[in-house]
Amino acid sequence: MKQKLVIGLTVACLAWSCFLPGTVLAEKKSLKEIQKDKASTKEDIKDVQARLNEKQKSIQAIEKEVDKYDKKIAELNKDLQKNEKQLAAQQKNFQEIVTKLYLKGEMGYMAKLVEANSFNDFLMRFELVRLKLKQDISIINNFKKTKHAYESDIKQLEEAKAKQSPLLEKAEKEVEALNKEYNKYKKEFAALEKEERAAMGYGGGGGILAFPSTPGYVSWNYGQDRGSHIHAGIDIPRPPGTPIYAAEDGVVIRSEPMSGYGWAIDIRHGNGLMTRYAHMYRSSVRVSVGQHVDRGQPIAGVGNNGRSYGARGGYHLHFEVHKNGSTRNPRQYLQ
């Protein structure tokens, strides 16, 4: 009796817990709700991408400004190197004058005047000393002026360049934050796409390759003689825009208009295996050449582009499987 009472209380507690705040069981979302959330997340991604683009533009503008300062500094340094010999000569003369003044002082010049043989000689010597002093002082001043001018210009440019660093650092942090936000929304979008496929009944199938669209009718018409050509794949009729999924992990090697195929996508899966998806419109395509795709990832929408008259004569996916360069019957890979 006691045992039954304990079991009864336990069951009651578990049942009651389902109605407590925070323990309500999540209801399965409808396809319409999932698609609404997906559209909202897609808008969020577009918004973040737009802000990222704007921020990248501002970073490029700052970097352009920094490059401008770097070029000017490089030009000044180049000019400084060109005049290095002249500056070195001026510096040598400067050092010689300083040494002379230090060793001889003013007496060195006075001795030249005292050695005069006549008053005219004295006047001539005095003028020579005056001119020499003037020349020496001019050399010193030119050296100082030239060196100071270069150093001043370089300093101003370095200061202007330094002012850009905080702006660049701030912009880069903002880009980092936006990238995190972008990646978060991308993950949410991928999860919603998975939910959408599940809600639409897409399971991929149990074959070597996943079924490339939603469940339903398939025209297994591989090898059909169509007069002008032998049909190289199968046709999967679906409403316009119905998702087309990658049949396996791989890399997109073609995404372009192709004669007779409308817009075609080829995905290389390794081991000589490749799949082709055709009759799409460019506006529905979601992948590009060189992009890695996962099994079951949406790559486009069903269209009716190109030489499209199979599968009940309307919108359909034309799907091919190639092995080592030759077509194979997709049925043996999908079932």
Task: Supply 47's token pair.
Answer: 């918004």
Task: Cite the residue boundaries of each domain of the chain with CATH code 1.10.287.1490.
Answer: 32-200
Per-residue pLDDT for 101 more than 70?
no
Q: What is the pLDDT of residue 79?
A: 74
Q: What is the pLDDT of residue 140?
A: 66
Helix (H) or strand (E) holding 262: strand 262-270
Q: Note the CATH number of domain 224-332.
A: 2.70.70.10
DSSP β-ladder status, 298-301 and 292-293: unpaired
Q: What is the pLDDT of residue 98?
A: 59
Per-residue pLDDT for 36 more than 80?
yes
**More confident of the two residues 69 and 112:** 69
**More confident of the two residues 254 and 33:** 254
pLDDT-derived band at 91, boundaries 50, 70, 90: low
The DSSP string of 217-237 is: --B--TT-B-SSSB--SEEEE
Are 318 and 310 spatial neighbours (Cβ–Cβ below 8 Å)? yes
Helix (H) or strand (E) holding 256: strand 250-258
Q: Which of 19-33, 70-84, 191-205 has the lowest mean pLDDT?
A: 19-33
Task: Supply 140's token pair.
Answer: 């010193």
Single pTM value for the model: 0.50
Q: What is the pLDDT of residue 168?
A: 77
The DSSP string of 265-328 is: EEEEEETTEEEEEEEE-GGG----TT-EE-TT-EEEE-B--SS---GGGSSEEEEEEEETTEEE
Task: Supply 86's token pair.
Answer: 């002249």
Q: What is the pLDDT of residue 312?
A: 59
**Distance between CA atoms of residues 282 and 2, nearest Å:** 71
For residue range 146-187, what is the model confidence (pLDDT) as tens digits? Answer: 777 777 777 887 887 787 788 778 888 888 888 888 888 888
For residue range 261-314, what is the model confidence (pLDDT) as tens digits? Answer: 999 999 999 999 999 999 999 999 999 999 999 988 999 999 998 887 655 568
Task: Cite the residue boundaries of each domain of the chain with CATH code 2.70.70.10.
Answer: 224-332
Mean pLDDT value across residues 253-259: 95
Q: What is the pLDDT of residue 301?
A: 94
The dihedral built from the CA positions of residue 165, 169, 172 and 174, taken in this order, carries a sign that is negative
Q: Note the CATH number of domain 32-200.
A: 1.10.287.1490
Are 307 and 260 spatial neighbours (Cβ–Cβ below 8 Å)? yes
The one-character DSSP state at 244 is: E
Q: What is the pLDDT of residue 316?
A: 93
Q: Which of 134-148, 199-213, 240-254 has the lowest mean pLDDT?
A: 134-148
Which residue type occupies 153? D
Phi, psi of 93 (to 5 degrees): -65, -40
Q: What is the pLDDT of residue 22?
A: 42
Candidates 163, 190, 157, 178; CA nearest to 41 is 190
pLDDT-derived band at 331, boundaries 50, 70, 90: very high
**Distance between CA atoms of residues 285 and 256, nearest Å:** 10
Candidates 252, 264, 247, 242; CA nearest to 211 is 247
Rg of the chain (C-alpha set): 41
> What's the whole-number average pLDDT of the chain?
78
For residue range 103-133, what is the model confidence (pLDDT) as tens digits? Answer: 555 555 556 555 656 656 666 666 666 666 6
Q: Which of 36-40, 65-69, 75-79, 203-207 has the lowest mean pLDDT?
A: 203-207
| SS3 state at 257 | strand
**Distance between CA atoms of residues 31 and 38, nearest Å:** 10
**Distance between CA atoms of residues 300 and 261, nearest Å:** 14
Please compute, for residue 104, the number of CA atoms within 13 A of its CA located in the half-sphere on the CB side.
13
The one-character DSSP state at 210 is: -
